[in-house]
Homo-oligomer: A and B are copies of this chain.
Amino acid sequence: MTDVTTPQPTPESPIPTRERLLRAAAGLFRNKGYSGTGLAELLAAAEAPKGSLYHHFPNGKSDLALAAADWASEQMLVLIDASFTPAPTFQEGAKTVCYKLAKLFDKQGKWSGCPVSATLFEGPENEAFHQHAAKLFEGWITETAAHARRLGLPEAEARAAAENFYILLQGGWQLARVRRDSDVIRGLHLQMHTPASAPMQVQKNN
C-alpha cells in the first residue's frame, strides 16, 4: 500500500526484477484494470524485459496478476495491523485505518482503485481469479474481526463490525475516487455501525 506507482531504482537498493514487476503490475492494474493494461506498458514501467516476466511468472500476465494482488493485499493487512494494534478501541483503530488510507491517497496523487478488486474482478472470467479475490477479501475481514474481538467486542458483533467496516471502506474508496477527495475516506469512521455506542450526529465535511 506504499508507493506503488514508481519503481524508482534507487542506486543503493536495486529492487529485484520480480518485485519491480509486482509493483508495476499492482500500480497499473489499480488504475487501468487487468485487461486495460498491456504487457508492453507494464514491462516499460517495471523496466524489465519480457523474458524476465515469463521467467518469474511462467503463466505470464495471469500469474503476475494473482501475485500482484497477493502483494497488494499483504500491504493492506500490514496497514490494518499497524492501525488496530496500538488502538484503545475498535472505533479508534478503524478511524486510524481510514486516515492512513486517506493520507496515502493524498500522497500519491493518483486515485487508484482497490488493487484486489481492480486486478481480479474482471480479468478473465476465470473462476480461479474470483476465488482468489474472495480469499483476499475475506482475509481482510477476518483480520479486522480478530482485532475487533481482541478489543473487546463480543464474538457475534466482531465479525459483523468487521464486515460493515469493510463495506464502508470499499464504498467510500469508490466515492473518494470518483470525487478525487480523500476526505470521503476520512469521514467514513463517523458512519460506522456502533451497536452499543451513544447516538452519533452527522458531521460530514460538506
In the assembled complex, the Cα of A164 lies from the Cα of B168 at a distance in Å of 9
List the B side residues contacting A200 at CB < 8 Å: 193, 195
List the B side residues contacting A19 at CB < 8 Å: none
A141 CB, nearest partner CB in chain B, Å? 9
Q: Which of A36, A117, A118, A122 has the most CB of B within 10 A?
A: A122
A185 CB, nearest partner CB in chain B, Å? 10
Are B199 and A195 in contact (CB-based, < 8 A)?
Answer: yes
In the assembled complex, the Cα of A157 lies from the Cα of B34 at a distance in Å of 39
A139 CB, nearest partner CB in chain B, Å? 12
Q: Does A175 contact B (CB under 8 A)?
A: yes
Q: Mark A108-121, 1 if CB is under 8 A from B, else 0.
A: 00000100011001
> Can you name 20 A-B pairs with beta carbons within 8 Å?
A31-B125, A33-B33, A33-B121, A36-B36, A117-B174, A117-B178, A121-B178, A156-B202, A160-B202, A163-B175, A163-B204, A166-B175, A167-B168, A170-B174, A171-B171, A191-B193, A195-B200, A195-B201, A195-B202, A199-B199
Residues of A within 8 A of B (CB): 31-36, 113, 117-118, 121-123, 125, 130, 133-134, 137, 156-157, 159-161, 163-164, 166-172, 174-175, 177-179, 184, 188, 191, 193, 195-196, 199-202, 204, 206
Known: A33-B36, A170-B175, A195-B199. 18 other contacts (CB 8 A): A32-B35, A32-B125, A33-B33, A33-B121, A34-B36, A35-B35, A36-B36, A133-B178, A161-B202, A166-B171, A166-B175, A167-B184, A170-B174, A171-B174, A191-B193, A195-B201, A196-B199, A199-B199
